[in-house]
Amino acid sequence: MAVSFTCKAQGPAGVAELKRMEYMYPDSLALKQQIALLSLNYSISNPKAEGVEAVMGDAEKYIRILDENPAADPSDVLTLKGFYYLVRIVQDPAVNGRKYYMEVSQNFDKALKLNPENKLAQVLQQKFYEGMNASRP
């Protein structure tokens, strides 16, 4: 995810701003990655906020688009997938913890196997395992 576009707004407003930019640059994978990432960052910080499901829908849509594009970096796509399921766990740990634990773990593991230098995957995987260890009785 080396290329990024400047977006001053955060959350849904930031996603909307990036979508306007994507309209001008429809072939930009970097914009699609940024939309997914900004959507997930907002959602993990505001898991119960009004409208968060629409933001998660955007993240899921752009992750799917990236996943289907052979030019997208597979490590980055797997990182976004892991992050998506991590957000789902944060939204409802009691229900989604068991449901999505393996999705998170496997996606981050695969991302790091493909690119051990993927900083976002490293950080998210570490946070995930720290959170899981802290939640154990």
pLDDT of residue 106: 98
Residue extents of the structural domains in the chain: 11-134
Give residue for tokens 């959170």.
Answer: 131
Say whether 115 sits in a helix, a strand or coil. Answer: coil
Across the chain, which has 137 residues, the per-10-residue mean pLDDT values are 52 81 88 94 94 94 98 98 97 94 98 98 95 71
* Predicted local distance difference test score (pLDDT) of residue 137: 59
CA–CA separation, 88 and 29 (whole Å): 24
